[in-house]
């Protein structure tokens, strides 16, 4: 069965979770990651090139900068855009969204039936070019067969395969590109006065703010200082990195325990406890949801 990858961009953690729960009811859909603001979302889309993007465009939290302008920014970098599915609470922006060529416009909360309709619409879009192609081949078949030997052209069944199908072509390009991007590990380079320090992002446990610099703690126990703010790292990093405190960004893959009562996350193979704050509690809830959405047993 064909798999369509998707990303959720929404600053509301509860909405992200609800959308993901509904989407996971469809074997055709494959979750990549989620983002809570404009920059994180842009980085995710450009890195992973998903087939679908569930996008909130009228967030109550203005600091997330989520709007239809996000789609306009994608046109700066991509010749083939993902299919954008707007998920929001009001119909007021529907006309504007159409002008941006969105694939679907769904009012929150997303339901099972909404996704069924979207996938049926996709199926129809994909079938129409094939039907047109078959009609052209059928119409030209008598003429082609009559002149084939004279013109020394290829057999009809070979010609049929050469008739372009732009939709299928774009899908093939995306599907062959995605594994390459996913398999290539992210390398973080800390540059300082001609000194280039390379580290695998997968080896980073967490980031800790230190005034205008940031301390990076690795799984080996080593610490490296970068002369960039924590906000800078938040803007360029995507899943599995997530901010849980004014002073901390954590790699979800290194969390061994989350204690809500004490507001701390425990790091694997380390006595270190990384605190989280009420401001970022929604992100911690999202981490818990991410764990439970995997191969998971709760006792």
- What pLDDT shows up at residue 3? 84
**What contacts 242, CB < 8 A, 6 or more positions away?**
249, 250, 252, 283, 286, 287
Mean pLDDT lowest among 157-161, 213-217, 292-296: 157-161
**Mean pLDDT value across the chain:** 83
CATH 2.40.50.1020 range(s) for the chain read 187-292
Do 171 and 163 touch, CB atoms closer than 8 A?
Answer: no
Res. 239 pLDDT band, cuts 50 70 90: confident
- What pLDDT shows up at residue 222? 92
CATH 3.40.50.2300 range(s) for the chain read 1-184
- Whether residue 162 is preceded by a cis peptide bond, meaning omega within 30 degrees of 0, is no
Say which CATH architecture domain 1-184 belongs to.
Answer: 3-Layer(aba) Sandwich (3.40)
List the one residue out of 267, 261, 295 whose CA is nearest residue 281.
261
Res. 72 pLDDT band, cuts 50 70 90: confident
In this prediction the pTM is 0.47
The stretch 276-282 carries a mean pLDDT of 90
Reported CATH class of domain 187-292 = mainly beta
- What pLDDT shows up at residue 143? 56
Burial class (CB in 10 A: 0-12, 13-18, 19+), 118: buried
The stretch 55-78 carries a mean pLDDT of 88
Mean pLDDT lowest among 166-175, 224-233, 242-251: 166-175
Residues 126-181: pLDDT tens digits?
876 555 555 555 655 565 565 555 545 455 455 455 545 444 434 443 444 444 44
């Amino acid at each position: 069965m064909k798999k369509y990858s998707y990303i959720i961009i929404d600053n509301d953690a509860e909405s992200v979770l609800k959308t993901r729960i509904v989407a996971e009811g469809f074997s055709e859909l494959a979750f990549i990651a989620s983002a809570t603001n404009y920059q994180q979302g842009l980085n995710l889309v450009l890195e992973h090139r998903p087939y679908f993007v569930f996008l909130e465009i009228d967030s109550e939290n203005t600091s997330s900068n989520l709007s239809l302008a996000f789609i306009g920014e994608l046109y700066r970098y991509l010749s083939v855009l993902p299919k954008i599915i707007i998920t929001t609470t009001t119909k007021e922006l529907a006309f504007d969204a159409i002008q941006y060529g969105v694939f679907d416009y769904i009012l929150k909360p997303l339901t099972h039936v909404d996704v069924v309709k979207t996938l049926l619409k996709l199926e129809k879009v994909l079938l129409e070019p094939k039907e047109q192609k078959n009609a052209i081949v059928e119409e030209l078949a008598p003429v082609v067969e009559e002149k084939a030997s004279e013109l020394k052209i290829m057999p009809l069944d070979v010609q049929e395969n050469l008739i372009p199908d732009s939709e299928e072509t774009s899908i093939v390009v995306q599907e062959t590109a995605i594994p390459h991007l996913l398999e290539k590990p992210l390398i973080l380079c800390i540059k300082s006065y001609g000194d280039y320090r390379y580290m695998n992002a997968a080896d980073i446990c967490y980031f800790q703010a230190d005034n205008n610099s940031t301390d990076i703690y690795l799984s080996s126990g080593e610490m490296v200082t970068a002369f960039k703010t924590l906000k800078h790292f938040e803007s360029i990093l995507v899943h599995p990195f997530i901010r849980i405190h004014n002073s901390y960004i954590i790699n979800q893959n290194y969390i061994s325990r989350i204690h809500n009562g004490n507001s701390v996350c425990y790091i694997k193979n380390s006595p270190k406890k990384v605190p989280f704050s009420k401001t970022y509690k929604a992100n911690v809830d999202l981490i818990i949801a991410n764990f439970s959405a995997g191969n998971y047993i709760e006792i």
